[in-house]
Amino acid sequence: PALFSLLLSVAGVVVLIFAFEERYDVLKADAAKATTKLPPPCAIAISVCVATRFIQIYATTTVGTIGSAFSMLMFSFNKEEAVTANATAHLIAGTIGAALYFILIIFNLFKWVPPRISSLLCLCIYASLFVVSYSWPFLPNKVKMSVNGSDWGCYSDRFDWCENLTEVSPWIYYTFYVLVFGFAASIMNVAVTTLYSEIIGPRRQVYAMCRGITFVTHHVYYYLTTLLMTLRHLPYHDVTSVSYIPIRAQKKQLFLLFS
């Protein structure tokens, strides 16, 4: 996946250099005809778009970080089964997402479903994943306990809530997983970006500045989410162990980012 992403990035740069031609004739003509100066864009609307992006990044990072550990605890998967299940879910979600992008480009579905309604619908789908993956007390089965140092099941010697933890169906969880990251994530990426552009309007300098702010906050959200999740589990682990190399790396990256 990393090599494929690198090849896609290189291909994108090549296309931008040799195939993309940027023209401002229409913008210059419209600017010449304009008699009044445009008012500044709505700060509240921009903040809502940024907050929506934060919710998406937070949910994506959370599920992506604990996905394998969650499946090993909740579904009693061993390491190989957890990796296989999550990789398969990612593959299906990625395939659906790629197909959906092409459908959006070809058929322009936002003519029938406005971006604002699409964003609200996708946020509800995101929330549904956490609802169906919650260990509700009325569920019939309990999770299995980890025995003899096994890497699956719930560690009752670390967590006092293992005995009362109910088991979620893996079929329901991974169905909503694919629905969220294959359908909702793809729709939201396009819908929120479209809304963002419409809110800013034909203000090239303001648009560039706001896009830069969004880009920075995107990475800050990612780092903060990872740090918060790691700090949340500090009482249960040895902070000097290899498992906490990621948090030290994240702190170093944050230092380099803002230094």
Q: How much of the chain exceeds pLDDT 70, in percent? A: 71
What was the pLDDT predicted at 176? 92
> Is residue 118 within 8 Å of residue 108, measured between CB atoms?
no
pLDDT at 25 over 60: no
CB 226: neighbour CB atoms within 10 A? 19
How far apart are the C-alpha atoms of 198 and 210, rounded to whole Å? 12
The SS3 assignment for 106 reads helix
Residue 104 CA, chain-centre distance (Å), reads: 19
- HSE-up (13 A, CA, CB side) for residue 249: 6
Q: What's the CA gap between 56 and 195, in Å, rounded?
A: 15
pLDDT tens across 144-203, in order? 887 776 778 887 777 777 788 888 888 999 999 999 998 888 888 888 888 887 877 766
Task: Report d(CA 244, CA 238) in Å as an integer.
Answer: 8
Identify the three-state secondary structure at position 154: strand
* Among 60-74, 100-114, 137-151, 166-180, the range of highest mean pLDDT: 166-180
Q: Give the model's pLDDT for residue 238.
A: 44
pLDDT beyond 60 at 241: no
